[in-house]
Structure 1
């Protein structure tokens, strides 16, 4: 009887140890899965901080300045003319887009384009994954990931 009792204690102890290890492993896996399934906050790059600060300053100074009266007979100011085959578009990606110097995720960043920012689409890559754009009213050109803008009908 004493041998049976010792064997029973050993078996119950082994089963409890396995249950604790299994339960701890499952709890750790669930914790890590929950921790890594949420997306991190969107980073704010230096170029974006400078652009938003200068845009805020320009908006503030523009609101305090008076607009000059239009001279009679002068044509109204018009946006830059479009290149052949180009069209205007706006950014639809909620976090904005990175402007890159070549059509690749490994390319250097030239800055950012905010949500609803307007660009001029110049061309698309042969695989239609990337689009070369020019910033509206600027000469800065770069590449953005395709499918994140919508055409503006004029």
Structure 2
């Protein structure tokens, strides 16, 4: 056999072996990525449930002003959502207690809003002894 033919056959065999090896590795990495996606961060299949409370008006501590707010509570569990849906009056009461103990300057700006959201969330988690309350959103937050 001619050396050119031998070199051609060796190169073709090497290309075929690398292609097969690459395909196998591709499938392994693709399969691992798909199985790991569900384990990192939020699961795509998890649903979020929302309870939007009616407009609330609260007095501010040591001020003649009032706060008008509308709050949405995010919940990560359907059973918790169903339990809390009928207990909106308790959530409203708890939020009123928090707002009435805040001074006007405590509610100002982005930091004030973030602190208030966190405080309301933590208070509701403690009140209902349930970690499935994941976030608090302000639809409206107006100081008048």
TM-score (norm. length: structure 1): 0.39
Q: Which has the higher contact order (CA 8 A, sep 6+)?
A: 2
TM-score under structure 2 length normalisation: 0.41
